[in-house]
Structure 1
Amino acid sequence: MRHLSAAVLLVSLSAFAQTSPSKPMTERKTDSFLRQYSETRRFMSGRPGKARITPDEKTLLFLRTQPTSATQMLYAFDVATGTTKELLTPDAILKGAEEQLSVEEKARRERMRVSSRGFTTYELSEDGERILVSLSGKLYIVERSTGKVTELKTGPGVIDPHFSPDGKQIAYVRNNDVFRIDLAANKEQPVTKGGTEQKTHGLAEFVAQEEMHRFSGFWWSPDAKSIAYTESDTSGVEKLTIVDVMHPEQGGTAFPYPRPGKANAVVRLGITPVTGGKTVWVDWDAKAYPYLATVTWQKGGPLTVLVQNRTQTEEQLLAVDPSTGKTRLLLTEKDAAWVNLDQDFPRWLEDGSGFLWYSERNDGPEVELRNPDGSLARTLVKPEAGFRGLARFIDKDRTLYFHGSSNPTESYLWRVKDGGAPEKVATGTPAPAFEMPVTLSKNGGLLVTLSSTPTTMPSFQVLRPDGTRVGELPSVAAEPPFTPNTQLFQVGKEGFHASVTRPRNAKPGVKLPVILYVYAGPTTTVVRHGMAENLLNQWLADQGFLIVKIDGRGTPLRTSSWERVVKYDFATITLDDQIAGLKALAEKVPELDLSRVGIYGWSFGGYMSALAALKRPDFFKAAVAGAPVVDWLDYDTHYTERYLGLPQEHPEAYEKSSLLTYARDPNTPVAPLLLIHGTADDNVYFFHTLKLSHALFLAGKPHELLPLSGLTHMVPDPLVTQRQYERVLDYFRKHL
């Protein structure tokens, strides 16, 4: 459930804004802060993104929009002078025409949580001389030395283009097959043939994109002579249809969507010469390990695949012989609950001496150096270091860069030099902070970090490896009009991390109603040091609320055992810990009025909000549930079965975790509940909310429903965002 991640968190945090309490909402003037917040996309429009460093470390490329725009343009930052110039705009290519996206490209962007337009991504050739951009399903090459832009002669509807390792070719998917184009001849040639809508070549299937973070379905060989590609057969997968309810005459679009206990896509991996020819299919025990989770084909190592069993309690890392498709076992990972994936691993060393591997077998994240045969050489990063993500491994001096912290609310940049102890890279950012490395140059001489603190919005710092500041990628974003008044705590016998956002004019000792912003599920925490995620929380607090966030058990970034307590039960510990955390927090913050507690969340947080209204109306006096998963039998296989098991084997897990279990009983009360859902959501389908509304109606339980017409799991439209949260604030004013 990648919609539980930070991308959706940013959308969900736009939960609140000010309106005048003295007038009905229909009579009020639009609040200036809420309007600005929505139009600037949470004050993030105009900030740089997708930075790439040229091999000579002289230039940084990045994308950026204007302050109130969603259209990204391409820029270049000169390291020596600190100056920035515009390289290319979508308008220069489209010349006034509107950008067109295929259904497949829209779905892919939804999986990647991309709501921007224009250049949403780009690639830099290995030698740094050429830039590849795509727009409206077409490809363009930018020559860096001259600025010349060439349109490649492809057919329409190009998806997922990538340079070959030698930079002389580009491969991509079109019409469900893999194609390539030789840049010298500018001529398209098919690599695979026979792909169909139900048996695609080179595209990642739904659960690979949504849950595994594997967004591609083909990979170049290091010598650029072969391509490995997936064949994903969805003919046996259940199809769910989305209809634009405002335009039923247009019909619906059907998507293969595997629900728990039902058929998944059948995925196999083939290798074929780029010039076309016979496909060699990779041979592994697909019956025991049906999920193709990760594929890598890197310099220094063989074609390597990671495959998982259906319940994700066991996985095998296999080396592949491309000439025969035969595999040999490198290692096996097992966990009684589940095994987490990290797509940065395995990472083969370029000299072929081994590979980096990620494991949680010792109750926390570790990075290991493995020998070429898969045996353990040594551990590079131990569990107590708080590893969260690999930044880069520099082969030249065998230095590993990563971000993380033993404190889940903070993150910093670290390096490990050839097996030594992790040392913090002094970036100059004042603690506490939330830093993430964006990119490092291949030779390690330059790096870019994304840094945010409680008093600063995210910024992109350009640094040397010793932390020396080179510059900052320029932002043109509008800046927020205030700094959140947020304080972090650690409370309760379990040591929950929590935060409280107070009114800026708060008076000590004056009790205020509480709104709990909740996520509480696997994969995501909400309590962290950062300004951006508390902006609307602060605005709401200024209207007379205390906004609280708590990370209980079941969330990541603590120990593995802390995260795995939700196995077979989403509905008990998750909710109990939120209540226990609030009670413990009230001992430190007596202004919390626990007789007036509301709760709000989106996605898994929406599920938790509805659960709170249904199970604990004695404690929660109002709830707003955005895009909630209502019945876990209706969510996807890879996410749900990881935590709740197969429904045929653990029906009780699905019964106790379903909101319908609590909604159907006419003898139990429900707290005031507002349901919000996009009608075109292809992740948590709109029928989830309709099922809950129907069950509540039949049980005689009043509630309210706000459908967002045509919206998906993301809510990028500024006016919809604005109106949505005017309604949310009104609801909490009314009931708290």
Structure 2
Amino acid sequence: MANQYRSLFSAIFILTICTAASAQQKTATPYLPTHAEVLQNYKAADALDSALKKVPYLTGIRPNWEQGSNEFWYGKKTANNQTAYILVDADKGTRATLFETGQLSSNVSRLTGKPVKDGVFRVEEMFFSPDKKQATFKTLGAWLKYDLATKKIELTKDSIHRRYDNDKPLQERHFRWEGANTDSISPDKKWIVAVKGGNIVVRSADKQTEIKLTTDGNAEKPYGELAWSPDSRHLVGYRIDPREAKKVYYLLSSVPGTTRAVLKSHDYEQPGDEFTTYEQYLFNIDTKTGIKTDAEKIDFFGAPRLHWRNGNSRYFTYEKADRGHQRFRVIEVDVNTGKTRNIIDEKTKTFIYEQRIFTFYDAKSHKIVWVTEKDGWRHVYMVDELTGAQKLVTKGNWVVRDVDSVDVSKKQIWFRGSGRNAGEDPYLMYFYRINYDGGNLVDLTPERGNHNIVFSPDRKYFVDTYSQVNVAPKVVLKNTATLKTVAELEHGDVNQLLATGVKLPEVFVAKARDGKTDIWGVIYRPANMDPQKSYPVIENIYAGPQDSFVPKSFSVVNEMQSIAQLGFIVVQIDGMGTANRSKAFHDICWQNLADAGFPDRILWMKALAAKYPQVDISRVGVYGTSAGGQNSSGALLFHPEFYKAAVSACGCHDNRIDKQWWNEQWMGYPVGPHYEQQSNITNAGKLQGDLMLIVGEADNNVPPESTYRFADALIKSNKMFDFLMVPGMGHSDGGPYGRKKKKDFFVKHLLHAEPPARNVNEMAAN
């Protein structure tokens, strides 16, 4: 009888598909596996996952430069799950294998007293003797000395070496959110400042003189955040009106050794919460007086870092981002008068992406390197600190992604960018150098691909790793001055990967809602896909506006490929509202997070189905975590005509419940009715399709009650859904258990088949 019902259902389902499908899709039969076939798919997927993990394919290397030299070592996965460690001399252009882990594993195990699983151990740190005849490395908590000629290895305590920071920029720079550069001792060491009873007291280092600079401070509204002028004659401080951060709570239900749940809490500012405010004052040590500057009260972030004009203690500048993210300023203060002047004053009707504001102060030339989107694309400007004059350094319909370093001696800016090369993926990352005046733009990495480079300590060389999502990586050593390749270090080979049966992902492009803009995504297919069948589509969604998320570098082992093996076509898309394109592209998200780029995503999948009959867009699922959890649930609330099933993990289902700094950036301040209108919770009654919610009870990123309140609203709306709460888990997709539940959920609701009966270990029995 069950088979008869199944046959009847399949016939009805196939008829519905064929009626709604395009002419191309009519040539493909919907893939509807039997339960036995589903079990085989799971087994085949597990086998492929295991096979892929054993293939020694290359995704890149991490060069470990020797401090003070142009030599570095790196590890590379080889056959039989081993790792080879390789030494490169950039000056000589040589590359030599030091050892493979399998050659030393028995001795490493004997000397450390710890088992080396599968003959593999990981070298955490390594340095070499001056004659390069011995390598000293750390593994399994022990230091070992290895003679490269005799192959002798022994324990050692000789572990003193200098590490080189691969991410160290040319010039030290302070990030904007580091806070005020305060110090109690004056630069000339003659004065010591302190706050007593909320007031500012300065005493001489010899303790002979004490000056009370304020009398109106108290414990409720104290002065503080004090910084000296370079000449030690002035203090910059603030009258502070504190606001205690509010808390969020969660329960740990299953703490070992307890019989009661444990209540936890932590500070957590939500949209609309009040912040501590700061009023700026200047104090003259000679006259023992203070004045309030004419600067506005700071009610967003804390006291700022001060930048004193080079060789001059009369003027300093600081940065101010207004709450609501629609105005950014660099403000100059005259310590003699308290008057202020805006050197930079950027305003926008939508948002200024505060976390990507970049400033660098070249004190000697009185220049500010500033990165902004004010002309519609993210570019570098050079600002004259004295006059406020601005010069556009980089320009065009492409994006400066980040500034790597500023060379103040050569007046050069080193940065990474994307979208400059016509006719290719606009997200691919390239590295550049340009002069302060905008001349002599040099592409350090002209080969097509997504690049990542690491410089030698003296920047004479760099290691460039580049690939594409379906093009194996190449790793080359280059001379920075000539850009010539010194040596090819590695070149990935996909043959062993393809031998497993896996299909490399495909990059796909379709037009956005405006009919003009290209939307880029990637497609993963089952290894054993039948071209005569049509398969459900599952979208891996994360529409957070803080970045773009479709993978651009080569990597085959990931969850999307694993899910595809069960009989799905899995896609990931960057729709409008995400970052790293034009300002207009990004602005779609403004006070509009519920949009999530869905109009672009749906058009993209429709275009995919129009090209490939194997794509069945009558069966579309979606899953995501965090902001992606909000998006995946929103798919069923706001676009149920297209999306049919969703798995939503630790979603921020209402932007009023989530963290202030993230949500006000995109939804704006003050909190208006649009927050409620776009909430998954207030729209819960609109749910159509099949939904699974996952949440960790110990999530301290997105409060768990965001999911609990959504579940409550669904229940009150009499909506059916699946719910998984994972005890003790933090901000996560549910971990291994949750990922199994997710796969089973999609098999059931998109393939309309029963997943394995795991409690009776059905897969092992078949």
Q: CA RMSD in A?
A: 5.5
Aligned residue for 1:243? 251
Instruction: For residue 673 of structure 1, report the CA deviation from its aligned partner.
Output: 0.8
Question: What secondary structure does 1:291 align onto?
Answer: coil
**Letter of the structure 1 residue corresponding to residue 402 of structure 2:** G
Structure 2 length as normaliser, TM-score? Answer: 0.64
Asked if 1:592 corresponds to 2:615, the answer is yes
Aligned residue for 1:452? 467
Question: How many angstroms apart in 1 are the aligned matches of 2:398 and 2:620?
Answer: 36
Residue by residue over 1:693-713, the C-alpha shift from the partner in whole angstroms, topping out at 9 and shown as x without a partner, is 121122221111222332322
Asked if 1:513 corresponds to 2:543, the answer is no
Change (3 A) 1:529 1:662: same
Question: How many angstroms apart in 2 are the aligned matches of 1:473 and 1:297?
Answer: 43
Aligned residue for 2:300? 290
Instruction: For residue 415 of structure 1, report the CA deviation from its aligned partner.
Output: 2.1
Question: What secondary structure does 1:351 align onto?
Answer: coil
Question: How many angstroms apart in 2 are the aligned matches of 1:193 and 1:44?
Answer: 60
Instruction: For residue 364 of structure 1, report the CA deviation from its aligned partner.
Output: 1.1
Aligned residue for 2:680? 659
Asked if 1:361 corresponds to 2:374, the answer is yes
Contact 2:368 2:385 (8 Å CA) reproduced: yes
Change (3 A) 1:705 1:29: farther
Question: What secondary structure does 1:706 align onto?
Answer: strand
* Unaligned stretches of 5+ residues in structure 1: 1-18, 98-116, 121-132, 137-145, 151-161, 167-172, 181-189, 196-216, 273-277
**Letter of the structure 2 residue corresponding to residue 435 of structure 1:** H
Question: What secondary structure does 1:387 align onto?
Answer: strand
Aligned residue for 2:345? 332
Aligned residue for 2:479? 464
Question: How many angstroms apart in 1 are the aligned matches of 2:239 and 2:475?
Answer: 39
Question: How many angstroms apart in 2 are the aligned matches of 1:722 and 1:534?
Answer: 15
Which of the numbers 549, 554, 574 marks the counterpart of 2:597? 574
Structure 1 length as normaliser, TM-score? Answer: 0.66
Contact 2:358 2:372 (8 Å CA) reproduced: no
Question: How many angstroms apart in 1 are the aligned matches of 2:253 and 2:235?
Answer: 42
Question: How many angstroms apart in 2 are the aligned matches of 1:580 and 1:332?
Answer: 39
Change (3 A) 1:504 1:318: same
Which aligned pairs between 1:91-110 and structure 2 lie closer than 5 A?
A: none
Question: How many angstroms apart in 1 are the aligned matches of 2:229 and 2:356?
Answer: 18
Question: What secondary structure does 2:509 align onto?
Answer: strand
Contact 1:484 1:535 (8 Å CA) reproduced: no
Question: What secondary structure does 1:523 align onto?
Answer: coil
Question: What secondary structure does 1:404 align onto?
Answer: strand
Instruction: For residue 149 of structure 1, report the CA deviation from its aligned partner.
Output: 7.4
Question: How many angstroms apart in 2 are the aligned matches of 1:267 and 1:460?
Answer: 50
Instruction: For residue 545 of structure 1, report the CA deviation from its aligned partner.
Output: 1.4
Which aligned pairs between 1:314-329 and structure 2 lie closer than 5 A?
A: 314-319=327-332, 329=342
Question: How many angstroms apart in 2 are the aligned matches of 1:43 and 1:626?
Answer: 32
Instruction: For residue 368 of structure 1, report the CA deviation from its aligned partner.
Output: 0.8
Which of the numbers 716, 719, 723 marks the counterpart of 2:737? 723
Asked if 1:419 corresponds to 2:437, the answer is yes
Aligned residue for 2:132? none
Question: How many angstroms apart in 2 are the aligned matches of 1:449 and 1:292?
Answer: 39
Change (3 A) 1:298 1:555: farther
Instruction: For residue 644 of structure 1, report the CA deviation from its aligned partner.
Output: 2.0
User: Highest Rg: 1 or 2?
Assistant: 2
* Unaligned stretches of 5+ residues in structure 2: 1-33, 100-107, 115-121, 126-137, 142-157, 163-167, 173-177, 185-191, 198-224, 420-424, 751-766
Asked if 1:260 corresponds to 2:271, the answer is yes
Residue by residue over 1:99-151, the C-alpha shift from the partner in whole angstroms, topping out at 9 and shown as x without a partner, is xxxxxxxxxxxxxxxxxx9999xxxxxxxxxxxx9xx9xxxxxxxxx85379x
Change (3 A) 1:66 1:626: farther
Contact 2:248 2:266 (8 Å CA) reproduced: yes
Change (3 A) 1:83 1:703: same
How many residue pairs get aligned? The number is 591
Which aligned pairs between 1:258-407 and structure 2 lie closer than 5 A?
A: 258-266=269-277, 285=295, 287=297, 290-292=300-302, 295=305, 304-319=317-332, 329-342=342-355, 345-349=358-362, 351-373=364-386, 375-406=388-419, 407=425
Asked if 1:535 corresponds to 2:558, the answer is yes
Aligned residue for 1:498? 521
Question: How many angstroms apart in 1 are the aligned matches of 2:389 and 2:350?
Answer: 23
Change (3 A) 1:582 1:46: closer
Question: What secondary structure does 1:696 align onto?
Answer: helix
Change (3 A) 1:556 1:343: closer
Aligned residue for 2:205? none
Contact 1:267 1:292 (8 Å CA) reproduced: yes
**Letter of the structure 2 residue corresponding to residue 434 of structure 1:** N
Question: How many angstroms apart in 2 are the aligned matches of 1:239 and 1:304?
Answer: 34
Contact 1:290 1:310 (8 Å CA) reproduced: yes
Question: What secondary structure does 1:368 align onto?
Answer: strand
Contact 1:412 1:424 (8 Å CA) reproduced: no
Question: What secondary structure does 2:393 align onto?
Answer: strand
Instruction: For residue 376 of structure 1, report the CA deviation from its aligned partner.
Output: 2.8
Question: How many angstroms apart in 2 are the aligned matches of 1:298 and 1:44?
Answer: 51
